[in-house]
Amino acid sequence: MTQLVGTLAVALLSLCVFVPSAAAAPAAGANAAEAGPSGVGQQIAPAPHTSKKTPVITLGFDDGTADHRTAASILDDYDLEGTFFVQSGLVGVPGYLTQSDVKWIQARGNEIGSHTVNHIDLTSVSKAEAVREICMDRLNLYKMGAKVTSFAYPYAAYDADAQAAVKECGFNSARILGGVKSQVGCDDCPPTESLRPTDPYAIRAPAQVESDWTLDDLVALVEQAKSAGGWMPITFHRVCLEAGCSPIGVSEQLLADFAAYLEEEEERNRIDVETFDDVVEGSRKSIRKSGWDIGQAVTSGNGVVNPGLETWGEGAASASCWELDTWGSAEVAASLSPTPIAGASSAQVDLAAYADGATAWMQKHDLGECAPAAEPGSAYDLSVQYSSDTYVQFVVHLRNSSGTWQYWDSSPWFDASESPTSATWRTQAVPAGFTGISYGLSIFSNGTLVTDEYSMVTAGSV
């Protein structure tokens, strides 16, 4: 891949508990058996652990980064298993796990869990988009050979719609962050989660492990569980050769030291180390392979949602259904332009200290709420109004049937223009296997670019 698509943000959650949106609490009888939508199967209540007295520790690893293979190897050295929450849209992307890695990790007794296709904040999208992100991620991981029953909310963000989507997609559980006491606070929270959680679709856990945590901090969580009983899910992200690779990363040595401690405690029957699936013990529900709202459909008119950028909320970082795509080395400033080309809103990008890369406002790289649908075999006429003091060009990304986005093509350069002018370009025919498209006008040198009035119209089959 010659360009990195989108920006994957990682939440630095230090709060003791995430406060869900209104109505996030489960309805009465949420643990009772209920019929799911077509293709999902029955929702079966998790089996109780009423006779289990030994506290349980669960090691979770979020985000599917490439170093999780090292984490799994460390766990294997100490006869431990964990749960690895993977977003399938980044599998195979540099810096993330490959499909072979996913299979290798599961083959060593670890659980593969879901983390959405594109690691999105589920409270920021419609329920239909949440269902696409969650169901497609489970399906993608299943196709990689994973037995997927557990989910973790990206950014620990959830609401009633997100919980309902998790259930609809056939998961037995979903983990948040917060709600359990830890060394960073939440002193009034319970010391552990219950082995039979009150809400299996909002499983509580301590705050995530961050780079300043020590072995003593990790051991303190285990000692807390030994004193109180119950369940202690512990959440890791990056696992680095040395400390400092990430604000939410730990060193390989710290993980190894903690694993050695856990192995000894388990051998002495003081704790059990289990995966999320081990603890929840729900029946494995059938994989939902279709039946959800596909979102944007191919249209004969302008396929761009919010083409004039008019829906730009006060204080918002971008117009509705738009995002900034940037890669390379430069100082990037993106904003609502003070001199709109048309209507009330235009988007502006300023680059300084440019070394390489490109930046463009593009339609959101999602699964159908905003990104236009694409028809294999069809070409598209793209246009945009712009002003700039440097060369610019169209850049186009495509989404495949698994929901993964990738760079596709770029147009010839367009000249700088002090006054607003139109840039137009016809793409190649979209290759087979792709379902979505996103484009923008990119700037790739020091300067300022203002854009507005986007259009994407099918040119016909070629």
For residues 374 and 425, state if they share a domain: yes
pLDDT digits (tens, 9 = 90+) for 258-303: 999 999 999 999 999 999 999 998 888 999 998 898 899 888 899 9
- pLDDT tens-place values along the chain, 462 residues long: 434 333 333 333 333 333 343 333 333 333 322 223 223 233 333 444 444 679 999 999 999 999 999 999 999 999 999 999 999 999 999 999 999 999 999 999 999 999 999 999 999 999 999 999 999 999 999 999 999 999 999 999 999 999 999 999 999 999 999 999 998 889 999 999 999 999 999 999 999 999 999 999 999 999 999 999 999 999 999 999 988 889 999 999 999 999 999 999 999 999 999 999 999 988 889 999 988 988 998 888 999 999 999 988 766 788 999 999 999 999 999 999 999 999 999 999 999 999 999 999 999 999 999 999 999 999 999 999 999 999 999 999 999 999 999 999 999 999 999 999 999 999 999 999 999 999 999 999 999 999 999 999 999 654
Residue 148 and residue 261 share a domain:
yes
Neighbours of 51 (CB within 10 A): 5
**Which residue, of 259, 280, 301, is where some domain finishes?**
280
CA distances 208 to 10, 16, 38, 81, 417, Å, are 12, 10, 36, 18, 49
The reply to whether 49 and 192 lie within a common domain is: yes
Tell which residue, 305, 113, 337, has the closest CA to residue 203: 113
Q: Decide if 10 is inside a domain.
A: no
Residues 134 and 192 in one domain: yes
Same domain, 251 and 331: no
Comparing CA positions, the residue from 27, 154, 170 lying closest to residue 87 is 154
- pLDDT digit string, tens, across residues 46-71: 444 444 679 999 999 999 999 999 99
Please report whether residue 6 resides in a domain: no
Cross-strand pairs, 422:
385
Q: Looking at the structure, do residues 93 and 214 belong to the same domain, yes or no? A: yes
Is the residue at 22 inside a domain? no
DSSP classification of residue 123: G
Q: Are 173 and 149 in contact (CB under 8 A)?
A: yes
Contact indicator for 94, 64 with CB cutoff of 8 Å: no
Domain that holds residue 203: 34-280
- Residue 173 maps to which CATH number? 3.20.20.370
Domain count, the chain: 2
Domain boundary, last residue among 227, 246, 280:
280
Within this chain, do residues 338 and 200 fall inside the same structural domain, yes or no?
no
Assigned domain for 47 exists: yes
pTM of the model: 0.86
Q: Does 349 lie in the same domain as 413?
A: yes
Residue 138 and residue 260 in one domain: yes
The tokens describing 324, both together, are 């900034």
Instruction: Give the sign of the dihedral formed by CA 366, CA 372, CA 375, CA 381.
Output: negative
Q: State whether 275 and 352 are in the same domain.
A: no
Q: In whole angstroms, give the CA distance from residue 310 to residue 324.
A: 16
- Measure the CA angle with vertex 426, ends 305 and 373; round to 5°: 35
Q: Residue 452 falls within a domain, yes or no?
A: yes
Give domain status of residue 312, yes or no. no
Indicate if 379 and 264 belong to the same structural domain: no
Nearest to 69 by CA among 318, 235, 285, 255: 255
Q: Are residues 70 and 196 in the same domain?
A: yes
Asked whether residue 207 is assigned to any structural domain, the reply reads yes
285 is a domain residue: no
Final residue of a domain: which of 280, 312, 331?
280
